[in-house]
Amino acid sequence: MALRPGAGGAWGLRAEALEADGREEDAMHAQGRFETLTGHRLDHELPLDGGDPIGVDAFRAQLAGRSVCVVANGESMAASGLGAEIDAYDLVVRVDSFQTHREGTGERVDVHAVSHRSGGPGWRRRAHTRLVFAEQPAQWRAAIRGRLVAGAQSYVGDLSLSRPVRDPALIGEVRWAAEPTTAFTVARLLDHLDVNPRIDLFGFAVPGQLRAEERQWILGRARARDGLRLSLR
State how far Cα 119 lies from the chain centre: 15
Backbone angles phi, psi at 69, to 5 degrees: -135, 150
Domain ranges of the chain: 1-42, 44-231
pLDDT in tens, the chain (233 residues): 444 445 666 776 777 677 666 676 676 677 667 666 665 555 545 665 678 999 999 999 999 999 999 999 988 898 999 999 999 999 999 999 999 999 999 999 999 999 999 988 999 999 999 999 999 888 998 899 889 999 999 999 999 999 999 999 999 998 887 889 999 999 999 999 999 999 999 999 888 889 999 999 999 999 999 999 999 99
**Reduced to 3 states, what is the DSSP secondary structure of residue 196?**
coil
Say how far apart CA 30 and CA 24 lie, in whole Å: 10
Say how far apart CA 216 and CA 219 lie, in whole Å: 5
Q: What is the pTM of this model?
A: 0.82
Nearest to 55 by CA among 161, 154, 180: 161
